[in-house]
Amino acid sequence: MQDPQTSIARVLLILLGILLVYLGGKKILEPLIMIPMGFGMSAVNASVLFLSASQLGNIFIDPLVTNTDSLMNILQIDFLQPVYTFTFSNGLIACLVFMGIGVITDIGFLLAYPFTSMLIAICAELGSVLTFPIATALGLNYGEAAAVSIIGGADGPMVLYTSLMLAKNLFVPITIVAYLYLSLTYGGYPYLIKLLVPKKYREHAVVTTKTTHVSSKQKLVFTVVINTVLCLLFPVASPLFLSFFLGIAIRESGIQKYIKLIEEVFLYGATFFLGLMLGVLCDASTILNPKILILLVLGMIALLLSGVGGILGGYLVYYINRKNFNPVIGIAGVSCVPTTAKVAQKEISKANRYSFIMQYALGANICGVITTAILTGLYVTIVGGLVK
């Protein structure tokens, strides 16, 4: 028999899975992640069976198996174990998603407004930085604290990669918390904007005094140079850098067959299995970890502080540019591409429907991906060295 606490948790997770499917279908949450995640969550907690006379479990995956002989046996039984072992637990799926994001990303806005984009993106890492000492004060070790802090960057693949490198024992709950919260940024950040940015600032139109065109050749040169430099400086994060910038380079080189392959197969295929695996990993026995509540609190703190930092960065640019800027753009520095950029445009349009700031928001958004990747490299290099 299963203990009552686990049984109750299973029922609650089944109901939560059904709710995620509903919210994803209504597009209140991100359907690409939430629908497969909700199905996986409800199915894995409903399909409990006796694996032996004394052991309950499921035949989906075993995320904690490490013994080679046991793994070879489970690969033949658990139907999602090959996907988990060969793409999820080694970070490959995160790299595939990153490559897909690169293919749909136009870095022209970043190159057109480099100072503005970089300043906002740096400010928007406030949560990724300040959450680390808070997490250590709450009892997490350095690796766990660094992994949960990266949630502040609002980049799911980065959280997955960091937790795999620094906190394997908690990477399942950390990644689940990250993706649950990232889906809430679209609904939560508008309230933060209204709280911190008065209407007179939200309706402020930005006067563009110059038209900056960035050619595909310039973008291609930038991607190969910045990729080489970042891989040289942060080799532990080089798989992420390579995946992201290679995707951008393929986009700018116009290789349509590769673009179609990466966008339609790699990106959507990896996103689908990522959502499904996250749902299946929400087995009650796996996530009934006493640190889950701490992770939930820290994830919320990280995203809140990053949102505040981004808006403060927006105010800073507003005064540097002699008030020819809209502080709301700062929220786009939180690199949930392109969600936070769309949030910024939507909230500004509500205040002034003639104000279009998407070029600045996307520049900050894309730069946020790069700064989060750099911070990931720093955490994995420095904290990883301390942990060892």
Q: Tokens 């996307």, residue?
A: 362
According to the model, what pLDDT value does residue 52 have? Answer: 59
Token digits for 37? 């995640």
Contact 364/116 with Cβ under 8 angstroms?
A: yes
Give the C-alpha separation, 309 to 330, whole Å.
8
According to the model, what pLDDT value does residue 89 have? Answer: 79
According to the model, what pLDDT value does residue 2 have? Answer: 61
Which residues face 49 on adjacent strands? 57
According to the model, what pLDDT value does residue 70 have? Answer: 81
According to the model, what pLDDT value does residue 211 have? Answer: 62
CA 228, 234, 237, 240 torsion-angle sign: negative
Q: Tokens 């939507």, residue?
A: 346
Token digits for 285? 């026995």
**Helix, strand, or coil (residue 229):** helix
Give the C-alpha separation, 171 to 156, whole Å.
12
Contact 44/65 with Cβ under 8 angstroms?
A: no
According to the model, what pLDDT value does residue 60 have? Answer: 85
Low-confidence stretches of the chain (pLDDT beneath 70): 1-2, 50-55, 209-212, 387-388
Tens digit of each residue's pLDDT (9 = 90 or more) over 32-63: 888 999 999 999 999 887 665 566 777 888 87
Contact 184/154 with Cβ under 8 angstroms?
A: no
According to the model, what pLDDT value does residue 148 have? Answer: 94
Q: Tell me whether residue 225 is exposed, middle or buried, using C-beta atoms within 10 angstroms of its C-beta: 0 to 12, 13 to 18, 19 or more.
A: exposed
**Helix, strand, or coil (residue 314):** helix
Give the C-alpha separation, 323 to 316, whole Å.
10
CA distances from 309 to 116, 125, 209, 291, 343 (A): 14, 7, 27, 26, 16
Q: Tell me whether residue 66 is exposed, middle or buried, using C-beta atoms within 10 angstroms of its C-beta: 0 to 12, 13 to 18, 19 or more.
A: exposed
According to the model, what pLDDT value does residue 209 have? Answer: 65
Contact 245/254 with Cβ under 8 angstroms?
A: no
According to the model, what pLDDT value does residue 262 have? Answer: 95
According to the model, what pLDDT value does residue 337 have? Answer: 81
Contact 182/156 with Cβ under 8 angstroms?
A: yes
In the chain, domain spans: 4-61+79-387
Give the C-alpha separation, 250 to 229, whole Å.
19
Rounded to the nearest 5°, which phi and psi values hold at 102?
Answer: -60, -40
